[in-house]
Homo-oligomer: A and B are copies of this chain.
Amino acid sequence: MYKIRALDECVFELGRLPGVGRKTAARLAMHILKMKPEDVQRLADKIVAFKENTLFCSVCGGLSESEVCPVCSDKNRVQETLCVVEDAKDLFVIEQTGYYKGRYHVLGGKISPLDGIGPDKLRIEELFKRITDEGINEVILATNPDVDGETTAIYLTRLLKRFEQLKVTKLASGLPLGTHIEYADEMTVLRALEGRREL
């Protein structure tokens, strides 16, 4: 049986990416073979350049091209509000709304006992330090509304009670726009009812 070593190696490396199994990796490899050489080179270059040039902001823990990210170094942002997100990519989604004017704190994950992630693995101490040092008066919890994210929010809410002047809020849960009540799960409808607003 003959093998193309370069193919096997390419498939092996692609197959190590999350959500990419052997079959997907083989399909990607076949696509790469049909791409223009300059496109393949650019793909490879951009992957390496991203890895080489992207750091974690030393203040919020988000992604940055410099030691402190543009949000943390922007004096026009509301300095007293922190939005707590699980992951750096959540930060970009909130930024895209253009609504939020404060700053961020990236936890670096969520409490997940099944995956062996306890509170000590998250940037919680750093959050407390920032609340004290930076005179924070509102923390918006923007963890994901799944089991682990909700657990993390409840855990943080309890601990944040120690800061007496601090307002702690949480993103609203409810029906996502553009959907039908008919297709929503009962927990989402329950949350939408609980959080109903007077018009």
- Residues of chain A touching chain B, judged by Cβ–Cβ distance below 8 Å, are 1-2, 4-7, 9-10, 12-14, 16-20, 24, 26-33, 35, 37, 39-54, 63-65, 69-71, 87-89, 95-96, 98
Contacts and interface: CB of A to CB of B under 8 A. Distances in A.
A59 to B, nearest CB: 14
This protein's copies in its complex? 2
Nearest to A56: B33
Nearest to A10: B50
Given A46-B6, A48-B44, A51-B35, A30 B87 contact: yes
Given A10-B46, A49-B6, A33 B96 contact: no
A33 B18 CA distance: 13
A28 B47 CA distance: 10
Contacts of A30: 87-89
23 contacts: A1-B95, A2-B70, A6-B49, A7-B50, A7-B63, A9-B50, A10-B46, A10-B47, A10-B49, A10-B50, A13-B43, A13-B47, A16-B39, A16-B43, A17-B43, A19-B27, A19-B28, A27-B89, A29-B50, A33-B50, A35-B51, A40-B51, A41-B48
A49 B9 contact: yes
Contacts of A46: 6, 9-10, 12-13
Nearest to A17: B28
Nearest to A53: B6
A1 B28 CA distance: 33
Given A1-B98, A46-B9, A37 B52 contact: yes
B35 A65 contact: no
A93 B112 CA distance: 40
Given A6-B50, A10-B47, A47-B13, A24 B19 contact: yes
Nearest to A9: B46
